[in-house]
Amino acid sequence: MEKTKNKIDAKKFTVSELLDIQGCTRCGICTELCCAYAGSNDVEVSPAKKLNLLKKRIDNKYSLLGRIFGQRELSEKELTELEKAAFQCTLCARCEIECPVNLGLKDIWFSLREELVEEGRYPESLDMLKNMLVKGKNISFETNESRIDWINQVTDIPENKYVKEQAEVVYFVGCVSSFSPRVFKIPRSVVKLFQLANVDFALMGEDEWCCGFPLIGAGFKEEAMQFTEHNIDSVNKRGAKYLVNSCPTCYHAWKHIYPEIAKAHMDRYTYPVPVLSDKINFDILHEVQFLFKLSKEGKFKLNPVNKKITYHDPCDLGRSSGIYDEPRELIKLIPGVQFIELQNIRENAKCCGGGGDVEAISADLSENIAKIRVHEIVDSGADIVVSSCQQCVRTIAGALKKEKSKIKAMDISELLLESIEGGSE
Amino acid sequence: MQIHYWIIHILIIFGLIGGLIFKAVTIFEGNINKFGDRKNISKWGKFWHFIGRFASNFFSKKFWYIVLGVFLDVLFHFKLLREKPLKWFVHTLLFWGLFLLFLLSILSGIAVEFAPALGYQTGSNWFIDMLADMDNRWTALLNDGLNLLILAGVGLALIKGFIQKKKIRMFENLDIFLIFFIGFILVSGWFTEASRYLAEETPYYIAKFGFMGYWLSILMKLISPSTSPQVWEIWNRSWWHIHIITVWLLFLYIPFSKLSHVIFSSIAGSVNSLEKRLLIKEH
């Protein structure tokens, strides 16, 4: 990874992002609420400082003097700080929500990472992530053929393990659920729920590639393009009406980022790419939406779960996708549940620390952020913390264990299945 | 006002607009789409693309979301009020103080310079007469009242900035310079007013409405009781020049200072709040 200087290029940003960069009032509100700042107590990783350095860098290059005499580059110290701030960010978008002038900060963080990657200024661990994804098509060290190994523990599965050529619903499991044994329970629960509701569904097996978001989030937008095209084609050839995601990040990628990619410059590529946006002919849902729909249709018989349950909003499902009500309503449908809200909820929910590839870049920071959220969960007095994200469940469960808490972390599909299978006292 | 002041005024306005265009040119270096554009689009092409996009939103049902965004997020900053009431208060003092004072100056300029040229007869309209007369009690009160609001805002901003946790303080040296710059414009305005009262020997019952200048004129008179009105006239002209030159410099500095956020964050805030409201509606 060779570092090059004097390369900031405004073309890596959109017009809207550059306008937002100029529109920052430096009020500092984003800093006070940033989870990376809270987790590190290091102001250099805060959104305001990061934006300020970025603005300074752009202004240096595109100022009158910069245009005449060439860009005055930031000092090496400032550039290192910018790199650190760019990659020690969970991309939770809390800064964007809290910004009094509604600046679209999350998009700026993506573009900043892309810009820094282009300059060779990024943590080395991301190279490993990129290689795993480009070669293996998933974020683990496993081969993609083992994508549905988790299903072997599910009872009553057909010989084809639901890897079918045609189905009404395609279940997009996501890399974490497919390869992380700690959360295998999630896809298993979803499959069991689909079986119980007689859903005609298919898994894509090795045909399922990573959604590409980890690459986009790490700043490798170019490399993510082929994942988009492959995944859209794979779902289309199964003639699906619905695509159901367990992972909020995959859902966000499918729902909001794939159409963006589709309408962008696909004709730059050497291989022929039809207009992708015309090819997304199916509804994209998160499991919580689909399970809520099935529950409303009376597909499940729910037994009481007499527990105090709280809900953690995943960043990509909540702030990035606006889904707050369905998971809460779904939990409340279960008899016996005493639903408790956490202190910071919905768009103000604190991040679990599992996003933005931070776990791969700075595991300590990720743990510290999780710890803050876990303290809130413990203070709520809940017996179970439910989320709709395998990464949140994984991160929170790990942090709860470290805190020696007896609170159980589970996915909403697991809770629903527990209720159907007899509930609990 | 003499013609050369008008020429400078117009040049300064061109300078301000030029500065903003210069900044905007950088903004239009960017792409239209997040994942790059299909082909190379010129800056003008991008500009017209966004104008077209704005027009299609403006002349649609989304118009009301734009109006809502402008009122709630740009003019009144309700989000800031909810999150940080003190910050909102300081911002409101500064923004509305400066904005209304600017508006009052423009209206007064029109009433003094343009209305007579357009055949306006003094006494036909109380509002124009009021604006044209600096000694009118309402004009003077409004002027000095707004000055006081801005001064309070400047003072609170400085205090708040310095007592804020040092670690997360976002103040930069240029911001402090800007605050002092605005403060200096206010103070030079009071000196101009005070020396005018002394030069014209304005009676108490008229001068008292321009209270900042009036109190200052009393102080100046106390310090230098023997100065003649002719000398105060020289002081008045000097202060007026200092005042107007600093205002001009501020105008030229706006696009390159923190104050540029008034323009850029207003546009960005309106556009982004429209998109966010549409996302909420979608769900």
CB A246 within 8 A of CB A187: yes
Nearest to A101 among B26, B28, B269 (CB): B269
A141: pLDDT confidence band, cut at 50, 70 and 90?
A: confident
Which residue of chain B is at minimal alpha-carbon distance from A266?
B38
For residue A306, is it within any domain?
A: yes
For residue A3, is it within any domain?
A: no
Nearest to B32 among A14, A22, A32 (CB): A14
CA atoms of B107 and B109, how far apart (whole Å)? 5
Domain of A79, CATH number, reads 1.10.1060.10
Burial classification of residue B156, based on how many CB atoms lie within 10 Å of its CB (0-12 exposed, 13-18 middle, 19 or more buried): middle
Q: At which of A118, A144, A159 does a domain end? A: A118
- Say if A265 is an interface residue toward chain B (CB within 8 Å): yes
How far is CA A143 from its chain centroid? 22
> What does the pLDDT read at residue A273?
46
For residue A425, is it within any domain?
A: no
- Could you give the maximum distance between any two Cα atoms of chain A, in Å? 74
Q: How many domains does chain A have?
A: 3
Do A83 and A164 have their domain in common? no
Share of chain A above pLDDT 90, in %: 57
Do A161 and A277 have their domain in common? yes
> What does the pLDDT read at residue A328?
96
CB A339 within 8 A of CB A325: no
Q: Give the structural domain span for A379.
A: 301-420
Question: What mean pLDDT is reported for chain A?
Answer: 88
CA distance A235 to chain B (A): 22
- Say if B269 is an interface residue toward chain A (CB within 8 Å): yes
Q: At which of A292, A322, A340 does a domain end? A: A292
Task: Find residue B268's DSSP bridge partners.
Answer: none
Interchain contact, A18 vs B30, CB within 8 Å: yes
> What does the pLDDT read at residue A171?
96
Q: Which has the closest alpha carbon to B47: B17, B16, B25, B63?
A: B25
pLDDT in tens, B158-184: 887 777 666 666 667 778 888 888 889
> What does the pLDDT read at residue B106?
87
> What does the pLDDT read at residue B132?
87
Do A96 and A244 have their domain in common? no
For every residue of A208-273, DSSP letters joined together read ----SHHHHHHT-HHHHHHHHHHHHHHHHTTT-SEEEESSHHHHHIIIIIHHHHHHS-GGGSSS--
pLDDT in tens, B75-87: 888 888 888 888 8
Which sequence spans correspond to the domains of chain B? 59-276
Do A194 and A55 have their domain in common? no
For residue A5, is it within any domain?
A: no
| Three-state DSSP class for residue A8 | coil
What is the bridge-based pairing of β-strands A308-312 and A384-387?
A: parallel
Do A354 and A402 have their domain in common? yes
Q: At which of A59, A91, A118 does a domain end? A: A118
Interchain contact, A267 vs B38, CB within 8 Å: yes
Interchain contact, B170 vs A26, CB within 8 Å: yes
CB B34 within 8 A of CB A260: yes
Do A356 and A339 have their domain in common? yes
Do A111 and A147 have their domain in common? no
The reply to whether CATH 1.20.950 applies to domain B59-276 is: yes
